[in-house]
Amino acid sequence: MPTVTDIITWMLENRDLLVEQAIQHLNIALTGLFFGIVLWGTTGILIHRYDRFSDMTLGVFGIVLTIPSLALLSMLIPLVGIGIPAAVTALVLYSALPVARNVYVGLENADESSVEVGRGLGMTDRQILLRVRLPQAMSVIMAGIRQAAVLLVAITTITAFFGAPGLGESIFRGISLGNTEQILGSAIVISAIAILVDAGLYGVQRLLPGSEVSNA
C-alpha cells in the first residue's frame, strides 16, 4: 500500500498531465451540466404547469438515475458513438432528476400569498412565473444544480472507459498497470474538483432568496 508521500510524489511528477486531464474532466462535466440545466429546467417548469404529468416524469427520471453508468454508456454507443458525445449525452440524462425535481419543487412551494398579490395586480401566469415563483424558487433550484454538478463530476470518470478524455484515463491506466499511486492521485484530484464546484455553487446559492430554507 503506497504512503501519502508516494501519492504526493506521483502527483507532483505528473502535475502537467493531471492539470490537463482535470481541465478536460471539468469541461465535459460542466458541458453536460449546462445542457442538463437548459433541458431539464424547462421540463421542471412544464411539469409544474401540467402537474398531472409530474409524478410520471420524475419517476422516469428516477429510473434513469438508477441505470449503471457503464450500461447507459453502452446503450448510447449505437446512437451517438463513443468519446465526448456519448459522455455528454449520458451526463445530461443523469442530471435530469436533481434538476427537474428541484425546479418543480421550488415552483410548487412558492409563497401563495405572493402569487395572489401578483394576480391581484393583474399579472398573467407567465409574469407570475417569471417575477414571483422563479425568484422564490432559485435557491431550491440551485441546490438541485449542486447535486447534479457533484454527480456529473463523479460520473465523468467512468466515461473515460468509452474514449472520453479526463482524469478517468489516469485511473483506468493505473488499474491496468497496477499503479496504486496513479489511481489514488487521480481520485484525489477528482474529489477536489467536486468539492470546489460544490463550494462555488453553494456560495452562489447563499446569495439567493430563501437560502436559509433550502440550506437547512
CA dihedral 92, 94, 97, 99 (to 10 degrees): -40
Cβ contact 110:137 at 8 Å: yes
Q: DSSP character for 215?
A: T
pLDDT of residue 208: 79
- Domain boundaries, position 97: 4-214
Contacts with 41 (C-beta within 8 Å, 6 or more apart), sequence order: 99, 100, 103, 141
Instruction: Fill in the DSSP letter of residue 110.
Output: S
Q: Which three cell numbers stand for residue 122?
A: 393583474
Position 117, amino acid: V
Q: How does DSSP assign 61-100, residue by residue?
A: HHHHHHS-HHHHHHHHHHHH-SSHHHHHHHHHHHTHHHHH
Whole-number Cα distances in Å, 204 to 11, 71, 198, 211: 31, 34, 10, 10
CATH of the domain at 155: 1.10.3720.10
Cα-based distances in Å from 165 to 22, 85, 194: 9, 11, 17
pLDDT tens for each residue of the chain, 216 residues long: 789 999 999 999 999 999 999 999 999 999 999 999 999 999 999 999 999 999 999 999 999 999 999 899 999 989 888 899 999 999 999 999 999 999 999 999 988 888 888 888 888 888 999 899 999 999 999 999 999 999 999 999 999 989 899 999 999 999 999 999 999 999 999 999 999 999 999 999 888 766 654 443
- Helix 84-94 to helix 134-159 angle, to the nearest 10 degrees? 140
0.85 exceeded by the pTM? yes
d(CA 92, CA 89): 5
Query: What pLDDT, on a 0 to 100 scale, did the predictor assign at position 212?
Result: 54
Place of cell 402537474: 51
Is the backbone of residue 166 left (phi > 0), alpha (psi -120 to 50) or beta?
left
Q: Give how many domains the chain has, as a whole number.
A: 1
pLDDT in tens, 173-208: 999 999 999 999 999 999 999 999 999 999 998 887
Specify the pLDDT at position 211.
60
